[in-house]
Chains A and B, each alone.
Chain A
Amino acid sequence: MSSAREEILSRIRAVDRPASPPVVRDYERERSASDVLALLDERVADYKAIVHRVSEAEVPDRIAECLARRSAKTVVVPADAPDSWRVSGVEWKSDDPPLALSELDRVDGVVTGCAVAIAETGTIVLDSGAAQGRRIITLVPDYHLCVVRADQVVVSVPEALARLEATRPLTFISGPSATSDIELDRVEGVHGPRTLEVLIVG
């Protein structure tokens, strides 16, 4: 008996398959928006995430405010997060050496940056790059505060994918964890972070 691999491939090759015409990409690969950051703000908020527009200089104070409002005492940061984010009054847990799962399950939240944000769909993409850390640190804590820089924001999905490297571990986040499984009615907050707060810088 031939292997499953050989058999499946030979079944496919036995089929008369006409060559397919080239793919026409006449859809809008780039789109413009009069105010990209305002669009991102509106679309992220539409998912019931909390969004703030801030200047670069304001970032540390706003991080402190957001954490204080939630009474977050112990907060995780990726090892390469900017020092200015680690405001006083909070016990910062750097993910270096890697934090144990049990420890991540006990913290009050996590603060990260992102790789790209898509204004039109209100999506933030993490690629484990600068100031983002391992996937697990933005998953287990119940609160995620994400800092998005203006130069990371694009309008459309195609523009975002063009900026991303497929082989990095990627997480596209559009609002807090949610479900539509009960009567197709959307409710926020299941297994992922139940609160997503976003600082749009610029």
Chain B
Amino acid sequence: MGGRNPVTWLGSPAFPKAAHEALANTQLRRNLRKATTTIRAKRAEVVSEMADWERLRRAGEAIKDDVLANLDTYLVRLEEAVTARGGVVHWARDAEEANQIVLDLIRAEGTDEVVKVKSMATAEIGLNEALQAGGVNAIETDLAELIVQLGEDRPSHILVPAIHRNRAEIREIFSRRMTEKPASDEPKDLAEAARKYLRRKFLSAKVAISGANFAVADTGSIVVVESEGNGRMCLTLPETLITVMGIEKLVPTWQDLEVFLQLLPRSSTAERMNPYTSVWTGVTPGDGPQKFHLVLLDNGRTATLADKVGRQALRCIRCSACLNVCPVYERTGGHSYGSVYPGPIGAILAPQLVGDMHDKQAASLPYASSLCGACFEVCPVRINIPEVLTHLRAEAVEAKGKRTPEALAMAAAAWVFADPKRYEAAQKAGSLSRFLARDGWIKRIPGPGAKWTDSRNAPAVPKESFRTWWRRNRVERS
């Protein structure tokens, strides 16, 4: 076991470099601006209908904190309940172990093709690639996942992995990969093309793979929330169902779902309720799959739990509201984050799951934010993302050691700030930098400071410091 955690993509550049390239893609920026503007307005509207929204958020936060505080108890309870209802529970420490469990289960059914419901957990562990290597073809059935799979592309959004594609691009991908080509680039015709393409796959599949939005510890019930009906197809038609879920996806009781079934749809697709929600418990004789396997995945979650500040990221219910309001995400797109978890939540979750701040790409993610706080405001489970971002930045700096130019600069600054005379002398020296400024802004600082001005302007330092001004105007008069 062990090896690299596939939650971040091998070979991805650090965020500043990836973002710089993405910003040059005007098509991408147009697609994203259109999509995020639409969803932001819709979300605000359905949230405003709920007078008790803030109380629901607090309840959601409290329920998830209870889950994290008693995670061992609830996991064992879930295992007992699922087993009692005819399901089989497996545990996986990391991606490699989870992938092997799933591959072995598929082989035991004697098939080499499976249908999949969109799932972040299986994307995180690189399941499709692992199955491919083992000779099993995994077919994504969610429309956006299908667009990504057929386009040999990577996901760029938690809810809508193909958000970076517009209708014309999608038509082009479908026309290239489907025998029955879409009639036009109207969303209706594109959806119809996907329906025809997948129908036979659904009706003949022996094994389906899903994730889970929630699992109820008390009853062993699993919940999948979706829109298209591809989820219902996968959860109902095949003989065998394999569900992979992160160990934090629990709620203690059935009643707790009354909070999340209100918070999630309004936060994610901005609907009062998503079209379909399926709930099943183990195996129901004569109805649906007669074999059910549940794979409980750690893959960095227990390490995240150990971090007092960072653990709140495990409350996440994967709604993607934080992506849709993020000014950085809207401009750079999801690929820049180099992970299946992009956006603000990705910037705090991916580095923690990787668990190695010496990994330059992962360590760059907590900086992919202006700390504006919009993500915290919309988060349905009140994850204080800016707080975790700054906490992880501190960890990233610590991991870099004491000899980097930044650390040396900070040490020098500390020396200067420690003494008023040194501070004033530095201010005087600093005011000379105004000769670099044009119209009050410094567009390029020479030397190592150029890193700062590469992506933003610095204001010119005024000729006179406040201290000097004070002495001249106030001290003299007294």
Contacts and interface: CB of A to CB of B under 8 A. Distances in A.
Given A23-B62, A23-B66, A175 B275 contact: yes
Contacts of A180: 160, 227, 269
Contacts, number: 241
A41 B418 CA distance: 70
Interface in A77-131: 98, 101-102, 105, 118, 120-123, 128
A12 B281 CA distance: 25
A118 B296 CA distance: 32
B184 to A, nearest CB: 12
A24 B58 contact: yes
B67 to A, nearest CB: 9
Interface string B263-299: 0010001011111111111001011100000001010
B272 A120 contact: yes
Interface residues of B, number: 96
B interface secondary structure, majority: helix
Interface string A134-170: 1110010000000000000000011001100011111
Interface stretch (B140-148, B377-385, B406-414, B442-450): B140-148
A171 interface: yes
Given A3-B91, A8-B296, A12-B302, A135 B195 contact: no
Interface stretch (B70-78, B331-339, B391-399, B458-466): B70-78
Interface stretch (B130-138, B185-193, B344-352, B356-364): B185-193
B56 interface: yes
Given A139-B232, A183-B166, A27 B52 contact: yes
Given A136-B237, A172-B277, A184 B287 contact: no
A189 interface: yes
Contacts of A181: 142-144, 147, 160, 162, 228
A60 interface: no
Contacts of B288: 134-136, 169
Contact of B229 (A158, A162, A192): A192
B221 interface: yes
Contacts of B144: 181
Interface size class of A (residues with CB under 8 A): 35 or more
Interface string B173-208: 000000000000001101110110011001100000
A17 B271 CA distance: 35
B68 interface: yes
B63 to A, nearest CB: 5
A46 B49 CA distance: 15
Interface string B218-249: 11110000011110110011000000000100
Nearest to A4: B91
B191 A189 contact: yes
A15 B302 contact: yes
A35 to B, nearest CB: 17
B328 interface: no
Contact of B227 (A120, A161, A178): A178
Contact of A187 (B34, B85, B170, B191): B191
Nearest to A189: B191
Contact of A190 (B230, B258, B262): B230
Nearest to B40: A184
B112 interface: no
A75 to B, nearest CB: 19
13 contacts: A8-B296, A17-B69, A23-B62, A27-B59, A28-B52, A172-B276, A172-B277, A176-B275, A179-B191, A180-B160, A189-B188, A190-B194, A190-B195
Which 8 pairs across A and B sit closest by C-beta, in order of nearness? A192-B229, A191-B229, A190-B228, A11-B302, A172-B277, A158-B258, A121-B273, A170-B279
